[in-house]
């Protein structure tokens, strides 16, 4: 997809390149042509030079022969002179035939006659007739020139000197065109190749004659051969192009001595155009280098652009993400607002319901105070409503903690057996109460002792199971299964908890929102079921906090199935049980009776309840109304008078934090040691932290769970000791 901006640019670049390429091609072609022309000219020059050399040799031979003839003319016995003349490399044979005779003598001690020498072609060198080429008695190609011997203006004899073509060998260039060109000397009349290259191999060692030369080099066009023959007849110099051994070559035939002999041969075009080729190669190199440089620049430009584009895209993406986050935040705020409205509405309803029971039964209690059975019944109902109200508040706290991310898992050791037992203890009575059948099973587990937040796992399972009890009609079935799955790691047990029922089930629409806060399945069948609508949201959050997953499947009227999968670290089984047992035993053995506590509590009712509860445990407690009084009372007490201080936080005059700090600052030995227990309705995690930061030892949330308080006091005493 080329944008409208890129296309013209690309077109322009291509156009520039086309023009550039055309110019380079034209220049290169012109150079080639000029170099080619120059190369052919150089070849012609070389051939002319060689021809000049050969003709000069022939001329010198002719002149020398004439000089000898003149010398001989002055001698009394010319035959004697000739027969004793030593042969040399040029003049291999000298002979003389006296005028009027047909036979003479030669310096090779043989009789000599003109028979076998063919002067009929009428060729001459320097005026001397020259014979056709022939193979002499040395086994090499030769020619003879004859020269009349004139004495006193009268021809007295004829001098014949035989020369061999091998003597031209030295005059020919060695390695013509670096050995790539071939050079032969051909006798024009017989078309025999009388001097050949001396290279290796069949072709390089030369051919027999012109016909053989044509055949070997596939110069088979008859009209071409005819034209060449015509030119040779006329003694013309010729050149023509032809492929030789698959190389485009230039064949030359250069007439020497007016066409009596010919210099023939061929040279590959590549060899004579070496300079042109070098120039073109260099041009090509320059063009390639420039193109490479250009494309390199383009590449760098492209990379730079891409980098900028990427940065721009990242910024846009970031902006989009921010916008999206803002939108989501806005939506979340709206949802939160809606949720809060709904929450308040739900809370109003959910708090009012048990509150109604508490107040109603309290009123009835006033009336029927004299009737112990009624009092017991009403107080039980008030207790149940109070417990429900407390669980509602606890759930709200849990949601608050989870949403603020302040939930911290308390990792400890536990056994699946204990887990099953504790869950069973809580759920089975509930199920029995509704006539439901609770089926429990543990299968496939490889390890008993595990590490994890047992309380939270309990919370999850109880949540699911209590829901199952709630949403299953009387006489229904509930299955609780703990299944060991295939381990992902040898150090973790992979467990699936399944809670299944054959109860009312849920619609698909509800399933989509089941894990959202304040949702509750409501229909004509279930709207009578009490609940905060926070349980499933808490459950899901806890499961995810533990790195697990939760799934649900359900059909209306068929029941529901919840699956929770967790991975829990496997523990060494030894010792765990003993420690637990020991702690339990110690706890059971320890008695709080006789302890003397100081409590700062501004609320009189709470103070009274506290006193009563502690009194049941045999603990003596002194109440002060605010923090300041608590500080003063402790300061004035004797060392060791109080075993611990219970400190409310929100109090008039001086709150619990300040009071604690003041106590810790007191200059007495037990000021830093005395356990101070925060006992407050400020039950959030930050409240706990603030209490600890102020110097308190432990935090216990209101309403007071006496069992918990007992345990806390015990632990403080243990540490103090």
Partner 1 sequence: MKGKKGGKIRKALFAFLAGMGILSIAACGNKGSSKNGVIISEKGEDKVVNLFGPMEKSSPDAKNISRTAFDLTVGMAEERLGLTVEYRTYTAENYQEKTYDDVTLDRVRNGMDDLYLLNPDTIQVLGEEGKLLDLSELDCAKNLREVVKIANTVDGKLVAIPQEVVVHGLFVNKDMFDQYGLKLPETPEDLLECCRVFKENGIETPIGANRWWLENFVFAQAYADLYNGGNTEAEIEALNSGESKYSDYMRPGFEFLQELIDKGYIDAKTAYTYEAIEGEGPDFLAQKTPIVMAYWSAANAETAYGKPDFELQVIGFPSSRGPMPVVSMTGYGINAEAEHLEDTKNVLEIILSDEALQLYAETNNVISPSKNVEVEYIPALQPLKERIEENVYVLGSNAGMKVEQWGNTCLIVRMLLNGSTVDECMAEFDRLQEE
Can you give the binding site for partner 1, defined by CB under 8 A? 135-140, 192, 196, 198-209, 212-213, 215-218, 245, 285, 289, 292, 296, 299, 303
Smallest distance from the beta carbon of 194 to partner 1, in angstroms? 11
CB of 137 to partner 1, least distance (A): 5
Phi, psi of 703 (to 5 degrees): -70, 155
DSSP string, 323-386: HHHHHHHHHHHHHHHHHHHHHHHHHHHHHHHHHHHHHHHHHHHHHTTT-HHHHHHHHHHHHHHH
Residue 85 backbone class (left: φ over 0; alpha: ψ -120 to 50; beta: rest): beta
List the one residue out of 433, 439, 440, 498 whose CA is nearest residue 470.
433
| Angle of the 416-433 helix axis to the 454-470 helix axis, nearest 10 | 20
Is there a contact between 96 and 82 (Cβ–Cβ < 8 Å)? yes
Nearest in space to 97 (alpha carbons), one of 163, 164, 162, 156: 156
DSSP secondary structure, 230-292, as one string: HHHHTT--EEEEEEETTEEEEEEEEEETTTTEEEEEEEEHHHHTHHHHHHHHHHHHHHHHHHH
**Closest distance to partner 1 from the beta carbon of 81 (Å):** 23
For residue 95, give the nearest of 145, 164, 150 by alpha carbon: 145
- Which one, 14 or 292, has the nearer CB to partner 1? 292
Between CA 703 and CA 712, with CA 709 as vertex, the angle to 5 degrees is 140
Give whichever of 299 and 336 is closer to partner 1, judged by the CB atom: 299
Q: Smallest distance from the beta carbon of 172 to partner 1, in angstroms?
A: 13
- The nearer residue to partner 1, 193 or 663, going by C-beta atoms, is 193
In the complex, what is the shortest distance from the CB of residue 167 to partner 1, in angstroms, rounded to a whole number?
13
CB of 201 vs partner 1, minimal distance in Å? 5
Least distance from partner 1 to the Cβ atom of residue 185, Å: 14
CB of 140 to partner 1, least distance (A): 6
Give CA–CA dist 346/340, Å, rounded.
Answer: 9
Report in angstroms how near the CB of residue 91 gets to partner 1 at its nearest.
14
70 or 209: whose CB is closer to partner 1?
209
CB of 202 to partner 1, least distance (A): 5
Q: Decide whether 200 or 616 has the Cβ nearer to partner 1.
A: 200
Q: What is the distance between the alpha carbons of residues 456 and 463, in angstroms, rounded to a whole number?
A: 10
* Closer residue to partner 1 (CB): 71 or 110: 110
**Spatial distance between the Cα atoms of 324 and 347, rounded to a whole number of angstroms:** 32
What is the number of helices (H) and of strands (E) in the chain? 17, 25
Distances from the Cα of 8 to the Cα of 5, 17, 626, angstroms? 6, 14, 86
CB of 117 to partner 1, least distance (A): 16
Among 172, 182, 251, smallest CA distance to 218 is for 251
End-to-end CA distance of the chain: 82
Task: Compute the least distance from the CB of residue 414 to partner 1, in Å.
Answer: 46
Cβ atoms of 674 and 662 within 8 Å: the answer is no
**What is the torsion angle, in degrees rounded to the nearest 10, for the CA atoms of residue 235, residue 236, residue 241 and residue 246?**
20
User: Is the C-alpha dihedral spanning 517, 518, 524, 529 positive or negative?
Assistant: positive
**CA atoms of 611 and 601, how far apart (whole Å):** 11
- If the CB atoms of residues 310 and 689 are measured against partner 1, the closer one turns out to be 310
Exposed (0-12), middle (13-18) or buried (19+): which is 681, by Cβ within 10 Å? middle
Q: Are 238 and 253 in contact (CB under 8 A)?
A: yes
From 703, 697, 698, select the one nearest 680 (Cα to Cα). Answer: 703
Least spacing, CB of residue 340 vs partner 1, in Å: 47
CB of 159 to partner 1, least distance (A): 22
**Angle of CA points 168, 174, 178, to nearest 5°:** 145
Nearer to partner 1, 19 or 303 (CB): 303
Q: Residue 465: CB partners within 8 Å, gap ≥ 6?
A: 423, 426, 427, 478, 480, 499
Q: How far is the CB of 107 from partner 1 (least distance, A)?
A: 14
User: Whole-number minimum distance, CB 264 to partner 1, in Å?
Assistant: 14
Shortest Å, Cβ 285 to partner 1 = 8
CB 597 within 8 A of CB 644: yes
Whether 514 and 339 have beta carbons less than 8 Å apart is answered as: no
Complex with partner 1: residue 2 or 299, whichever CB lies closer: 299
Give the C-alpha separation, 647 to 663, whole Å.
Answer: 11
CB of 125 to partner 1, least distance (A): 24
Name the E strands within 437-517: 437-443, 449-452, 477-484, 492-501
CA distances from 100 to 69, 95, 156, 419 (A): 17, 15, 8, 151
Strand pairing category for 124-125 and 128-129? antiparallel
Instruction: Give every CB contact of residue 217 below 8 A, 6+ residues apart in sequence.
Output: 242, 244, 245, 251, 266
């Amino acid at each position: 997809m080329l944008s409208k901006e890129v296309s013209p640019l690309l077109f322009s670049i291509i156009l520039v390149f086309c023009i550039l390429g055309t110019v380079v091609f034209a220049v290169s072609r012109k150079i080639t042509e000029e170099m080619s022309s120059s190369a052919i000219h150089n070849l012609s020059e070389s051939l002319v030079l060689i021809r000049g050399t050969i003709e000069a040799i022939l001329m010198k031979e002719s002149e020398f022969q004439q000089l000898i003839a003149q010398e001989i003319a002055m001698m009394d016995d010319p035959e004697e002179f000739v027969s004793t003349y030593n042969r040399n490399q040029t003049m291999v044979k000298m002979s003389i035939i006296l005028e009027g005779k047909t036979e003479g003598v030669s310096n090779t001690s043989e009789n000599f006659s003109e028979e076998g020498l063919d002067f009929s072609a009428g060729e001459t060198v320097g005026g001397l007739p020259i014979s056709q080429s022939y193979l002499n008695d040395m086994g090499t190609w030769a020619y003879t020139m004859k020269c009349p011997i004139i004495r006193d203006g009268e021809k007295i004899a004829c001098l014949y000197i035989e020369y061999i073509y091998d003597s031209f060998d030295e005059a020919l260039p060695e390695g013509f065109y670096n050995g790539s060109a071939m050079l032969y000397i051909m006798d024009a009349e017989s078309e025999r190749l009388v001097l050949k290259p001396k290279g290796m191999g069949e072709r390089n060692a030369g051919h027999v004659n012109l016909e053989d030369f044509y055949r070997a080099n596939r110069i088979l066009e008859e009209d071409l051969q005819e034209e060449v023959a015509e030119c040779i007849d006329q003694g013309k110099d010729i050149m023509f192009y032809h492929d030789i051994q698959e190389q485009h070559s230039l064949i030359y035939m250069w007439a020497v001595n007016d066409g009596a002999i010919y210099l023939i041969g061929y040279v590959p075009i590549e060899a004579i155009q070496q300079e042109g080729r070098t120039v073109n190669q260099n041009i090509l190199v320059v063009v390639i280098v420039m193109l490479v440089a250009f494309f390199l620049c383009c590449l760098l430009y492209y990379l730079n652009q891409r980098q900028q584009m990427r940065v721009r895209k990242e910024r846009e993406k970031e902006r989009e993400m921010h916008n999206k986050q803002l939108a989501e935040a806005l939506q979340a705020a709206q949802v939160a607002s809606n949720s809060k409205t709904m929450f308040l509405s739900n809370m109003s309803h959910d708090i009012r319901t048990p509150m109604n029971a508490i107040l109603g039964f309290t009123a009835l209690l006033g009336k029927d105070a004299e009737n112990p059975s009624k009092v017991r019944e009403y107080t039980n109902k008030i207790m149940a409503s109070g417990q429900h109200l407390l669980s509602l508040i606890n759930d709200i706290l849990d949601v608050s903690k989870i949403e603020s991310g302040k939930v911290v898992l308390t990792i400890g050791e536990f056994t699946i057996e204990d887990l099953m037992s504790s869950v069973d203890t809580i759920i089975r009575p509930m199920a029995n109460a509704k006539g439901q059948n609770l089926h429990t099973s543990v299968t496939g587990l490889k390890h008993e002792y595990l590490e994890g937040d047992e309380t939270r796992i309990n919370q999850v399972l109880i949540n699911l199971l209590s829901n199952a009890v709630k949403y299953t009609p009387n006489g229904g079935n509930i299955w609780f299964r703990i299944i060991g799955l295939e381990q992902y790691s040898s150090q973790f047990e992979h467990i699936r908890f399944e809670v299944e029922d054959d109860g009312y089930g849920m619609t698909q629409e509800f399933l989509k929102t089941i894990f959202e806060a304040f949702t509750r399945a409501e229909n004509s069948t279930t709207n009578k079921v009490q609940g905060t609508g926070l349980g499933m949201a808490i459950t899901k959050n806890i499961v995810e906090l533990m790195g697990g997953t939760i799934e649900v499947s359900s059909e209306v009227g068929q029941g529901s199935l919840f699956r929770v999968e967790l991975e829990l670290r496997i523990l060494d089984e030894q010792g765990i049980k003993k420690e637990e047992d020991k702690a339990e035993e110690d706890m059971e053995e320890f008695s709080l009776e006789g302890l003397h506590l100081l409590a700062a509590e501004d609320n009189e009712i709470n103070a009274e309840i506290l006193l009563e509860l502690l009194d049941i445990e045999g603990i003596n407690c002194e109440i002060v109304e605010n923090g300041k009084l608590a500080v003063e009372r402790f300061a004035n007490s004797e060392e060791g008078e109080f075993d611990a201080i219970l400190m409310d936080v929100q109090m008039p005059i001086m709150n619990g934090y300040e009071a604690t700090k003041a106590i810790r600052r007191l200059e007495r030995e037990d000021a830093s040691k005395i356990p101070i227990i925060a006992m407050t309705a400020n039950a959030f995690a930050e409240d706990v932290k603030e209490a600890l930061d102020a110097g308190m030892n432990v935090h216990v949330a209101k309403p007071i769970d006496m069992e918990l308080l007992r345990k806390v006091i015990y632990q403080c005493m243990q540490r103090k000791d």
